[in-house]
Chains A and B, each alone.
Chain A
Amino acid sequence: MKVPDYYYLPGMEDNSSQNHNGQLDPSGGGNVSNKQNDDGSQRTQYSIPGILHFIQHEWAKFELERSQWEVERAELQARIAFLQGERKGQENVKSDLVRRIKMLEYALKQERAKFHKLKYGTELQQGDMKPPVFDDVVTDAKLEADAPFTSVSNISWRQGRQLLRQYLQEIGYADTILDVRSNRVRSLLGLNNNAECEENLNNSSPAVNGNESSNKRASETQGRRTPAKKTQPSSITEAMILDTEAAVMANFEFLSPDVDMDDDDDMSDDLDDQQDDETDDVKTAKRKNKVRPSVLCCQFGVLTLRIDFQCLMMNEGLADDVDAEAEEVLNELNLLTESEDAQNELRAPGGSPSMGFATSSRRPMGALGDDEGLDSSLGLGELAQLTVNNEAEAAYDQIASSKEAYRKMWNAKYTLRSHFDGVRALAFHPTEPVLITASEDHTLKLWNLQKTVPAKKSASLDVEPLYTFRSHTGPVLCLTMSGTGEQCYSGGLDGLIQCWNLPSPNIDPYDSFDPSVLTGSLVGHTDAVWGLSIHNQRMQLLSCGADGLVCLWSPQNKVPLLSTFSSPDDGQPTSVDFVHNETNQMVTAYNSSHCVIYDLETGKPVTRLETSQAENISQDKQINRVVTHPTLPLTVTAHEDRHIRFFDNVSGKMVHSMVAHLDAVTSLAIDPNGLYLLSGSHDCSIRLWNLDNKTCVQEITAHRKKFDESIYDVAFHPSKPYIASAGADALAKVFV
């Protein structure tokens, strides 16, 4: 008896081999074998067993596929259940937040009434003074029932959480899934300890998968963890605080499950401390409020909201792209709270991680405690508006005040595309979010960052230029703006310095040509003008050109050229700047790598900076840019040999030298406060440096190469938190 050895498919041996045995005899063959014989030798492989085998093989294949489909179906069903669970979670979050908002509103009204009564001795007539009634909770709507009310809402939260937890269990959204997800988050973050968690509150890091899920995770985890952590509360107030703390802890634990609970406790304490430090008024108010439960309710609402912000931020602060993220969060919130505009607004600040939640939540708190803020017409919507309006300003304050905690990370926000060729220079308006770019396409363009082109999807906004300055007959190489923001000056390859009046930043881009925008040309250079620097108090302008001259101008004068300096031994001047901490000096850098401080009155060198210690004067060492510190006797030079060097203006000694980029450093800018240095390089990146310790704070790849050039210029806005870069790829970018 022969069983073909290819019949090894499981479950087939018994009956199938039986059949085959009978049919193995060639004479017993039916139609098939007859046909085979007829067809000749080439078809002899079509034996009955062979066919049967084929059919069985096919059958087995189908079976396999069927089981695969079944698995797939099960997976999809699980997925559906999962998504439904997520939806449910979202709804819970939503109703929870709605509830909190209602509580806040209610408490605000109460406060207002109290205040009114105290001040005028009469009852304030406001709309409905009933505490909010929640769908899922039976609330006794009595006015005096402050304490019961809080407990009721507290209960409703727990109910919600309990419900959520039950639901999660039902759909098998078990701890393992949560763990898997948290692991994923952790691996994305590459962090395992609390300190870094906390840092994530302040800094943005790589993106996690969608906000929705992270948002939801927070609440889920809350739901999951809270019951376990619950202790017997001695009072309702404490219970609530404990509850919140537990929620916070749960969130921290969710990010770092390896750490034990003690750490978590410390953590949340720290967190609370931090909050309290930032919001002293909150704390005092909070203490006072133990006596006044109605206020407490409101305060607590804010507190929880704030903590929620924190949870959100912890998750969302991870986002790579803050703006896109914030936008998404807003969108998401819109979905979440379709009908709850006020809530949406209130939460908006929390959604933008770089801004810092503390400020945003402090504002409404301050307003609550502050009598003046409690204008009787002040609704919650306005309250929230207040926060939003102050957001940017407050954020900047924070950068200045606590740079340790709030180390700002810059993100590309605006792309200025309209030049046909490399952008050689850019200059910001002293006060407005307005800038001018100068390009090799012979033009300069004026941009108002508030006039953006609506962009879809993309995180960075496009800005359309408002005005095109045409007068140069060749590439425009350098640019500077006056301290009033009314004039700007540009130098070109054509050897001219053009003086421009800035058109209004609200001009129609297709207005008729106004020749008075160009006020005149400063003629003096006979070759390309490569450097410009303006002194606002003196109303003077310095320029340097490829003709070897450095010129001092007073553009308003009838005869604008005041004096010229030349020093043929030093080579071609490449960059020039006023010495800002001395009244009458300028510094000039040369392509020979020399750098000299001159007295403007006498025209004599004051200090020769020791730039050429290595005594290897070649084009590799040429200085591309020189800037002086706004207050210190410090000069910074950007070199072709990838270095940035720092010099003491008095001694001329080199203070510090560092390889700053992977390629030639082309441009430098010092922020108005003298704390940070920004550098641009042909390695396509800009880098932000802390001037204190000369460490790189941030690196951003900003532009692409054209031939062997990439970035030509960088700038700080003199008064607003903007930085910008200009590149050979015909783009300029603004970062916020």
Chain B
Amino acid sequence: MKMADGVTMLRRNRPGTKAADFCRWPDQPFEEMESTLVVQQYIQQQICHDPMNVTQILTPPESQDEGVWKYEHLRQFCLELNGLAVRLQAECHPEACTQMTATEQWIFLCAAHKTPKECPAIDYTRHTLDGAACLLNSNKYFPSRVSIKDSSVAKLGSVCRRVYRIFSHAYFHHRAIFDEFENTTYLCRRFTSFVIKVGCADFTLNSSCFRPDRAIHGGSEMIPVKDNEDESCFLVTKHSPWRGKYKRIFSIGTAGVTTYNPTNMEITNRWPYSDFMGALPGPNANHGQVSLA
């Protein structure tokens, strides 16, 4: 490295730097970083170091504020997801993927609009990333990158949830792209671990989320399995005309839908798909309300 010989080494990508040398400077210990963007610097440095070492990347430095740690990681996920979006633009045409789906059972509505819309998958992807960029850069919710209000940290959950659907769509509908992207970035694996490890509280408590423990085995959580294995689970609030609202884990399996009681994991109901007439997004579909008939 050319610049390493100087008395003070400056970590810069000067004009003329070759792509291979971009950001290839010796690691700077976290304690020595001084700017207000230390956490981003640290995360990017770790990723640059070894994108495969997910554990290392997700381990916060000592006494790191948790909110900022989550926030900066989510920024980094959205940043890198641009790479997936670029690849999807080439293949995920609105004519083919008219709706944002992962496993055909759910249509995800795009929350970027005033009233959530059934955007085609590619628009969903772009709008979700654009919306996340606006939210995560919002001066209102995230005025500082050094400390973050608790109320704003809560916002991160919804971003996680939507971002995850982009991975899901790519996985189920554009597998080649997903694999190619995943093999260079390890992004989905990192994201899955992130959600489990950092435990976006929101992410597990809110409705219509991937249940994290199903997503543990790096990427494999989305592989369709035989018989009725639970494919994806959601903690939902059931609106029953008889019993009011109550929490259930809602699981979409390959052969049917199962609901569990979250307190004791007992199966409360199970319906084969043949029993359904359809699944319709409810009036508050952006909050994950779905009517099953």
Contact = CB atoms under 8 A, between A and B. Distances in A.
Nearest to B2: A619
B17 A546 contact: yes
B215 to A, nearest CB: 24
A624 B137 contact: no
B28 interface: yes
A728 B13 CA distance: 11
B19 A510 contact: no
B14 interface: yes
Chain A interface secondary structure, helix, strand, loop or mixed? Answer: loop
A441 B19 contact: no
B3 interface: yes
Contact of B139 (A462, A473, A640): A462
A619 B19 contact: no
Interface in B30-67: 34-37, 40-41
Interface stretch (B83-91, B170-178, B265-273): B83-91
Interface in B102-119: 110, 112-113, 119
Contacts of A515: 89
A332 interface: no
B94 A531 contact: no
B11 interface: yes
B24 interface: no
Interface stretch (B126-134, B205-213, B245-253): B126-134
A729 B16 contact: no
B126 A468 contact: yes
Contact of B16 (A418, A510, A512, A546): A546
B147 interface: no
B276 interface: no
B78 interface: yes
A442 B79 contact: yes
B89 A471 contact: yes
B98 to A, nearest CB: 11
B15 to A, nearest CB: 4
Contacts of B18: 527-528, 546, 572
Given A417-B139, A471-B89, A575 B2 contact: no
Interface string A672-715: 00000000001000000000000000000000111111000000
Contact of B17 (A512, A528, A531): A528
A707 B14 CA distance: 13
A470 B82 contact: yes
A219 to B, nearest CB: 37
A527 B19 contact: yes
A254 interface: no
A682 B130 CA distance: 29
B112 A510 contact: yes
B126 A470 contact: yes
Interface string A623-655: 011000000000000001000000000000000
B120 interface: yes
B277 interface: no
B191 to A, nearest CB: 15
Q: Give the interface centre of B85, B120, B134, B137 by most chain A CB atoms within 10 Å.
A: B137
A442 B82 CA distance: 7
A465 B35 contact: no
Contacts, number: 141
Nearest to B36: A704
Given A418-B137, A470-B89, A513 B126 contact: yes
B249 to A, nearest CB: 33
A458 interface: yes
Contact of B82 (A443, A509, A512, A573): A443
Given A441-B79, A473-B86, A512-B119, A708 B137 contact: no
Nearest to A529: B19
B230 interface: no
A146 interface: no
A730 interface: yes
A475 interface: yes
B139 to A, nearest CB: 5
A112 interface: no
Contacts of A421: 40, 79
B155 interface: no
Nearest to B82: A442
B12 interface: yes
Contacts of A473: 83, 86
B123 A730 contact: no
B119 to A, nearest CB: 7
B159 to A, nearest CB: 12
B112 A707 contact: no
Contact of A709 (B6, B13, B112, B123): B13
Contacts of A415: 139
A472 B123 CA distance: 18
B15 A624 contact: yes
A682 B14 CA distance: 11
A99 interface: no
Contact of B123 (A442, A493, A495, A512): A512
A707 B9 CA distance: 11
B238 interface: no
B287 interface: no
B30 to A, nearest CB: 13
B45 to A, nearest CB: 9
Contacts of B28: 707
Nearest to B33: A707
A571 to B, nearest CB: 7
B79 A591 contact: no
A706 B136 CA distance: 18
A293 interface: no
Contact of A591 (B16, B37, B78, B133): B16
Contacts of B257: none
B11 A707 contact: yes
B10 interface: yes
Nearest to B79: A420
B41 to A, nearest CB: 6
A441 B2 CA distance: 26
Contacts of A619: 2-3, 6, 14
A626 to B, nearest CB: 10
Contacts of A480: none
A571 B15 CA distance: 12
B247 to A, nearest CB: 32
Contact of B35 (A527, A625, A704, A730): A704
Contact of B19 (A471, A494, A509, A571): A494
Contacts of B3: 619
A417 B138 CA distance: 7
Nearest to A495: B19
A464 interface: yes
Nearest to B86: A470
A474 B94 CA distance: 25
A415 B143 CA distance: 12
A53 interface: no
B130 A465 contact: yes
A442 B83 contact: yes
Contacts of B138: 417
A418 B142 CA distance: 12
A418 B134 contact: yes
B19 A682 contact: no
B163 interface: no
13 contacts: A415-B139, A420-B75, A468-B129, A468-B133, A470-B82, A470-B85, A471-B89, A510-B112, A528-B22, A530-B16, A530-B17, A546-B19, A622-B16
Given A493-B19, A574-B15, 11 more contacts: A420-B75, A441-B79, A468-B130, A474-B22, A477-B15, A493-B22, A495-B19, A510-B110, A510-B127, A528-B22, A624-B14
4 pairs of A and B residues whose beta carbons are closest in the complex: A572-B16, A574-B15, A420-B79, A707-B11
